[in-house]
Amino acid sequence: MHLQTLPWIILFLPLLAAVVITLFTQRDRKTSATLSISAIVIGFVLTVIFIKANSFNPEVKEVSLNWLDIGPLQAEFGLRLDALSLMMLLVVTGVGSAIHIYSWGYMHEDRCFSRFFASLSLFTFSMLGIVMANNFLQMFISWELVGVSSYLLIGFWYEKASAADAAKKAFITNRLGDFGFMLGILIVWAALGSLNFGKLEAGLADNPAALGSLATLGGLLVFCGAMGKSAQFPLHVWLPDAMEGPTPVSALIHAATMVAAGVYMLSRTFFIYTPEALQVIAWIGGCTALLAALVAVQQNDIKRILAYSTLSQLGYMVMAVGLAAPEAGMFHLTTHAFFKALLFLGAGSVIHAMHHEQDIWRMGGLCKKMPVTYWTFMVGTMALAGVWPLSGFFSKDAILAAAWHHSMPLFIIGVGVAALTTFYMFRLVFVAFLGGERSHEVGHAHESPWVMTWPLRILAVFSIVGGVIGVEALFGGMLHPGGEHPHGLAAQLVYPFKHAPVAALSGLAAFGIGLFAAWTLYARAKEDPLPARIGTLSRWMRDRFYFDELYEATVIKVHDATAAVVDWFDRWLIGFAAVRGSAGATSLFGNVLRFIQSGSLQAYAFLLVLGVAVILFFVLGR
Partner 1 sequence: MNGFPWLTVLTLVPLIGGVLVVGMGGQKQLARKLTLGLSLLSLGIALLIWKNFDAASGDLQFSERLDWVKSLGIQYHLGIDGLGLLMLLLTAIVTPLSLMAFWHNHDRSHIFGALVLWLQAGLFGTFTALNFFHWFIFWELGLIPAFFLVKFWGGPNRGPAATQFFVYTMVGSIGLLLAFLALRLATGSFDFIELAAMAKRGEISVKLGDALGWKSLSYSTLALLVFGLAFLGFAVKVPVIPFHTWLPVAYSEAPSPVTMLLTGVMSKMGVYGFLRILLPIFPEQVRLVLTPLLWLAVLTIVLSACAAFAQRDLKRMLAYSSINHLGYCLLAMFAAAGAATMVNQPELQKAAALNGVLLQMFNHGLTASVLFLFVTLLEKRSGGLRGLDDFGGIRKVVPVFTGLMGISLFSSLGLPGLNGFVGEFLVFKGAFPLAPWTTAVATIGLLVTAVFLLTLIQRVFCGPLNEKWAKLPDLTASELWLVIPSTVLMFVVGIYPQLVLGVIDATVVKLVQQLNF
CA pair distance 130, 261, nearest whole angstrom: 7
Per-residue binder mask for partner 1 (CB under 8 A), 60-79, x = binder: -------xxxxxxx------
With a CB cutoff of 8 Å and minimum separation 6, the contacts of 214 are 187, 191
* Contacting residue, 1, 27, 59, 159, with partner 1 by CB under 8 A: 159
Q: Considering beta carbons, is residue 148 or 378 the nearer one to partner 1?
A: 148
CA pair distance 429, 360, nearest whole angstrom: 9
Query: From the CB of 313, what's the least distance to partner 1, in Å?
Result: 28
Amino acid at 59: E
With H, G, I as helix, E, B as strand and everything else as coil, classify residue 341: helix
Query: From the CB of 374, what's the least distance to partner 1, in Å?
Result: 37
Residues within window 179-218 making contact with partner 1, judged by CB under 8 A: 179, 182-183, 186-187, 189-191, 193
Query: Would you call the peptide bond into 234 cis, given omega within 30 degrees of 0 as the criterion?
Result: yes
Residues within window 337-356 making contact with partner 1, judged by CB under 8 A: none
Residues within window 97-136 making contact with partner 1, judged by CB under 8 A: none
Q: Considering beta carbons, is residue 3 or 592 the nearer one to partner 1?
A: 592
Report CA 233 to chain centroid distance, whole Å. Answer: 13
Strand 62-70 with 73-80, pairing: antiparallel
Q: Is 593 in the site for partner 1 (CB under 8 A)?
A: yes
Instruction: Report how many residues bind partner 1 under the rule CB under 8 A.
Output: 62
Stretch that binds partner 1, among 36-44, 162-170, 267-275, 530-538 (CB under 8 A): 162-170
CB 54 within 8 A of CB 3: yes
CA pair distance 229, 261, nearest whole angstrom: 7
CA pair distance 608, 600, nearest whole angstrom: 12
Q: Is 286 exposed, middle or buried (0-12, 13-18, 19+ CB in 10 A)?
A: buried
Stretch that binds partner 1, among 36-44, 88-96, 141-149, 508-516 (CB under 8 A): 141-149
Q: Considering beta carbons, is residue 8 or 450 the nearer one to partner 1?
A: 8
CA pair distance 87, 479, nearest whole angstrom: 13
DSSP-derived secondary structure letter, 545: G
Q: Considering beta carbons, is residue 22 or 279 the nearer one to partner 1?
A: 22
Residues within window 567-586 making contact with partner 1, judged by CB under 8 A: 567, 570, 573-574, 577-580
Q: Considering beta carbons, is residue 158 or 450 the nearer one to partner 1?
A: 158
Q: Considering beta carbons, is residue 16 or 176 the nearer one to partner 1?
A: 176
The β-bridge partners of 64 are 78
Q: Is 330 in the site for partner 1 (CB under 8 A)?
A: no
Per-residue binder mask for partner 1 (CB under 8 A), 389-418, x = binder: ------------------------------
CB 446 within 8 A of CB 369: yes
Q: Considering beta carbons, is residue 440 or 580 the nearer one to partner 1?
A: 580
CB 170 within 8 A of CB 154: yes
Q: Is 63 exposed, middle or buried (0-12, 13-18, 19+ CB in 10 A)?
A: middle
With H, G, I as helix, E, B as strand and everything else as coil, classify residue 345: helix
* Contacting residue, 461, 523, 563, 610, with partner 1 by CB under 8 A: 563
Calculate ∠ Cα 320-322-327, nearest 5°.
40
Largest CA distance in the chain: 104
Stretch that binds partner 1, among 296-304, 382-390, 412-420, 560-568 (CB under 8 A): 560-568
Q: Considering beta carbons, is residue 494 or 616 the nearer one to partner 1?
A: 616
* Contacting residue, 412, 523, 605, 610, with partner 1 by CB under 8 A: 605
Binding site for partner 1 (CB under 8 A): 67-73, 137, 140-142, 144-145, 148, 155, 158-159, 161, 164-165, 168, 171-172, 175-176, 179, 182-183, 186-187, 189-191, 193, 559-560, 562-564, 566-567, 570, 573-574, 577-580, 589, 592-593, 596, 601, 605, 608-609, 612, 615-616, 619-621
